[in-house]
Structure 1
Amino acid sequence: MNINILKFLRRPKFLGDSDIKPLHHVLFWSIYFLINTFRWSSIHNDFLLSLRTNLIGFPIHMFLAYLNAYYLMPKFIYTKKYFQYTIYILLALFGMLLLKFNLTYYLVSTDVMPEGPEEINSLTIGYAVQTMIGEVYVISFFTAIKLTIDWLRESSKLHDLEKRQLKTELRFLRSQVSPHFFFNTLNNIYSLTLEKSDQAPEVILKLSELMRYLLYATKKQRQDLTSEINCIRNYIDLERIRFDDSLRIDMNISGDLDNCKIAPMLLIPLVENCFKHGASKNIGEMKIVIEVLVTNGFMNFRVSNTIPNANKEFKYPVNSGGIGLSNVKKRLELGYAKNDYELSIYEENKMFNVILNLKVV
C-alpha cells in the first residue's frame, strides 16, 4: 500500500457527511423546475403556459420520484421482488397519467400536449406512452442521483472503517516487541540489585528510556530516524547484560540522519530477531553486526548474526524469519509504497542477513 494510504482513506472533502438534507431536496427541485420552465417556455414561446404546466407536473414528478426511491426500491428491488416492483411502478405511472391528464385538461388547456404536432384533447395511446416515458426519465434521473449519493456514503463509511482498522493494526504491530525481553531485563536488574552492582541504576535508566519510547513513539505515524537508532542502542545495551564476552556486537552508523523519518519500532524487531534466534541459541563465539547507511534519501539497514550451531538439526527460518520479520514485512506492506522499500533475507558465510533499503525522506 502507498505511504499515503491513511490520507487516501479519509472521507473525500467534496462529499462532506454524505447526508441528504431537506435543503438539498429544495435546491434540486427548484433548479430542475426553473430549467424545465424556461426550456419549455422557449419552445412554446409562452412563459405562463410553461409555468402552469410545470406547476401541475412537478408535484407529480416529485411524488413518483420519492415513491420509487424511498419506498418501492427498498421494499421490492433490494429484496429481489422484481415482479411486484414492476406491477406497482406501472400502477403508479398509470395513476399519474390519469391525474396529469385531467389536471392539465381542466386547469391549463384542453390541448394536453401543446408541444405535439397536433392538438390532443383526449387520452390517447400516443399521449399515454410519451407522458409515461417522460415520467420514467424523471424517476430514473432522481433515483440515479440518490443511488450515487448512497454509494458514496457507504463507500465513505467503508473507508472510515478501513482507516480505523489500519490504524489499529499498525499500532498493534508497532507494539509487538517481545515481552520476554522485558522479563529478562527485569530479572537482570533484580540480580544486579542483589549484587549491589553499580550497573543497576544505568540499566534501569535505559529500560525507562526504552519503555518511554515504546509508549509514546508508537502513537506517531513517522518518527525521527535518530530516535529509532537511539532506541536500538538502548535495546542492545540491555541485551548485553544477558551475555558474556562470547557475544560480539558491531554497530556502524554513517550518513546524514537529520530530517530522516521512519515508521516507529520498525527496526527493533529485526535487531530483536538476532538475539532471539541467534545469540540465545548459540554456543561458542557469537557475532551480531548492525550497519546503518543513509544516502540520497534512502536508508540501507543491514543486520546480521551468527547462525546457531549448537544443534545441527536447527534450521534458521529464512523464509519466515519468525514473528519479528513477519511483523516488519506486514508493516512495510501497510505503511509504504512498493517502490519505497526493498527487504532481503539470506544466509551467507554462516551468517543470517537481513537488509532493508527504505525511503526515509
Structure 2
Amino acid sequence: MKRILLHILFWTVYLLQDSIMQFTWTVAPLPRISDAERMRLAIIAATVVAIPKAIFSYFVIYFIFPQALKYPGRRWQLAALTTVVLAVLILIHRYINYYLVGPVIYGGAIRSIPVLNLAYLLLTVMDFGFVSGFAFTFKLLRMQLTGKEREKALVQDKLQTELKFLRNQTNPHFLFNTLNNIYALARKRSEKTPEMILKLSKLLRFMLYESGKGSICIAEEIRIIEDYLELQKLRFNERLRIHFHKQADEEGTRLAPLLLLPFVENAFKHGVSETRFNSFVNIDLRLENNVLYFVISNNTDEGQMQPEQIGLGNVRRQLELMYQDYQLQVTNAAQVFTVNLTINLLSHAKI
C-alpha cells in the first residue's frame, strides 16, 4: 500500500508541474477561455501525453533494470530493446499530440506540430529521459533505504541471537554451581538442604520467567543477589563474611536482567571457594540519577584469580551489546580481587 501511495504521489507531482506548463503555453492561443477551463484542459492534455512516459518508465524500472542485474552479459541486448521500445513510445507520444491533444482536447485552437518534426522529436526524447530518469532515481533511493533497513534488521537479529546465547551460557553455569553446592550439603545430610532447595527454586523461577525480558527493575536484581547470597551463607557458615550495601534513589529504574549476578557468582567460585581462612565478599551497589555504581571485592590466594580466567567475558560482551556508556575495571592486588562497574542506564541500546 505504501508503494502504491508513493507512485501516486510521484505522478501527481509530475502531472501538476506539466499541467502548469501547458496552462502557461496556452495563454496566448486561448485568450477567450477562462483560467479554470484552460487549467482543466491542461490537466487532461498532460494526463494523456503522460501515458507513454509512464509505460516507458515502468518498463525500464521493472523489466530492463532487474534483467540487467540478473543477466549482466545481456546488457547490450537489453539496451537495444530499450532503444526500440523508446522509439515506438515516442512515436505514439507524437501521434497523441498531433491527432488528440490539438484537434480534440483543445478543439483545434492549438496548431498541431507534425509527428516527425525533428526539433519536437528531440524535445520528446528529453521529456522521456527526464521523467524516466527521476522515476529510476527514486527507485534506486527506495532500494537503498530498503536495503539499509533490511541490513539493520539483520544486525539486530544477530545481536539478539548473540545476547540470548550469552545468557543461555551464563544461566546453566550458575545452575550447575548451585546444584553442586546442594549436593555437597546433601552428602553431609545437612538440615539446611531443604532450605537451600527452596531458595534455588526461587532463583530458577526468576531465570525462567524474568531473565528473558529486555529489562527488569533494579529492586528485582537486588532481590536475586540477596537470594544467592543466602544460599552461599548456608553453604559456608561462619567461614564467610558477607557485606552487601545497597542504595537506590529509584528502585523502579530498569536494567538488563542477570547482569550483576555473574560477578557475585565469580567472587564465590574463584575466590571464596579457593580460600581457606577469613573469606569475605563485599558488595556495594548504588543507583544515583540513573547511574549504577557496582563494586564487588573478595579475598583470594596469592596470584590465584586472574581477570582473563574468571569467565567474565560473557558479561563484558553483554555490556557491549546493551549499553553505550559503561566502564568495567577488574583489578587483582594484595590478595583482593575487585570488580568496579559503572553504567549509565539511560544509554541502554535498542536491540
**Short-chain TM bin:** 0.7 to 0.9
Which among 332, 337, 341 is matched to residue 324 of structure 2? 337
SS in 1 for 2:257: coil
* Percent of aligned pairs with the same amino acid: 31
The reply to whether residue 29 of structure 1 matches residue 11 of structure 2 is yes
Supply the distance in 1 between the matched residues of 2:116 and 2:242 (Cα, whole angstroms). Answer: 96
Q: Which amino acid in 2 is paired with 1:44?
A: T
Superposed CA RMSD in Å reads: 3.0
1:142-185 CA distance string (max 9 Å, x none) = 12222333333333333333333333333333343353543343
Q: Which amino acid in 2 is paired with 1:75?
A: Q
Q: Which amino acid in 2 is paired with 1:317?
A: Q
1:219-274 CA distance string (max 9 Å, x none) = 32221112111111211222344446444333222353523322110001111121
Q: Which residue of 2 aligns with 1:20?
A: 3
SS in 2 for 1:355: strand
SS in 2 for 1:121: coil
Cα drift, residue 78 of structure 1: 5.5
Alignment check: 8 A CA contact 2:291 2:343 kept = yes
Cα drift, residue 283 of structure 1: 4.3
Which among 25, 42, 57 is matched to residue 49 of structure 2? 57
Which among 305, 312, 317 is matched to residue 306 of structure 2? 317
1:188-223 CA distance string (max 9 Å, x none) = 435545665432232122111111111122232221
Alignment check: 8 A CA contact 2:22 2:46 kept = no
SS in 1 for 2:247: strand
Residues 191/283 of structure 1: CA separation in 2 closer, same or farther (3 Å cut)? closer
Q: Which residue of 1 aligns with 2:267?
A: 274
TM-score, L = length of structure 2? 0.80
Supply the distance in 2 between the matched residues of 1:223 and 1:164 (Cα, whole angstroms). Answer: 21
Q: Which residue of 1 aligns with 2:21?
A: 39
For these two proteins, the number of residue pairs brought into alignment is: 328
1:95-244 alignment to 2 at 5 Å? 95-109=88-102, 120-121=113-114, 123-177=116-170, 179-190=172-183, 192=185, 197-243=190-236
Residues 148/180 of structure 1: CA separation in 2 closer, same or farther (3 Å cut)? closer
Q: Which residue of 1 aligns with 2:64?
A: 72
Which among 296, 299, 303 is matched to residue 303 of structure 1? 296
Supply the distance in 2 between the matched residues of 1:220 and 1:59 (Cα, whole angstroms). Answer: 54
Divergent runs of 4+, >6 A: none
Cα drift, residue 327 of structure 1: 1.9
Q: Which moved more, 1:184-193 or 1:152-161?
A: 184-193
Residues 122/261 of structure 1: CA separation in 2 closer, same or farther (3 Å cut)? closer
Unmatched segments (≥5 aa) in structure 1: 1-17, 111-117
Residues 165/200 of structure 1: CA separation in 2 closer, same or farther (3 Å cut)? same
Q: Which amino acid in 2 is paired with 1:38?
A: I
Alignment check: 8 A CA contact 1:37 1:51 kept = yes
Q: Which residue of 1 aligns with 2:349?
A: none
Structure in which a larger fraction of residues adopt helix? 2
Alignment check: 8 A CA contact 2:98 2:112 kept = no
Supply the distance in 1 between the matched residues of 2:259 and 2:342 (Cα, whole angstroms). Answer: 12
Q: Which amino acid in 1 is paired with 2:344?
A: K
Q: Which amino acid in 1 is paired with 2:306?
A: P
Q: Which amino acid in 2 is paired with 1:61?
A: K
Q: Which residue of 2 aligns with 1:12?
A: none
Q: Which residue of 1 aligns with 2:106?
A: none
SS in 2 for 1:108: helix
Q: Which residue of 2 aligns with 1:356?
A: 341
Residues 178/77 of structure 1: CA separation in 2 closer, same or farther (3 Å cut)? closer
Residues 175/137 of structure 1: CA separation in 2 closer, same or farther (3 Å cut)? same
Residues 163/267 of structure 1: CA separation in 2 closer, same or farther (3 Å cut)? same
TM-score, L = length of structure 1? 0.78
Alignment check: 8 A CA contact 1:175 1:218 kept = no
Q: Which moved more, 1:240-249 or 1:270-279?
A: 240-249
Residues 155/255 of structure 1: CA separation in 2 closer, same or farther (3 Å cut)? closer
SS in 1 for 2:169: coil
Supply the distance in 1 between the matched residues of 2:141 and 2:81 (Cα, whole angstroms). Answer: 24
Cα drift, residue 36 of structure 1: 1.8
Supply the distance in 2 between the matched residues of 1:255 and 1:333 (Cα, whole angstroms). Answer: 24
Unmatched segments (≥5 aa) in structure 2: 31-37, 104-110, 347-351
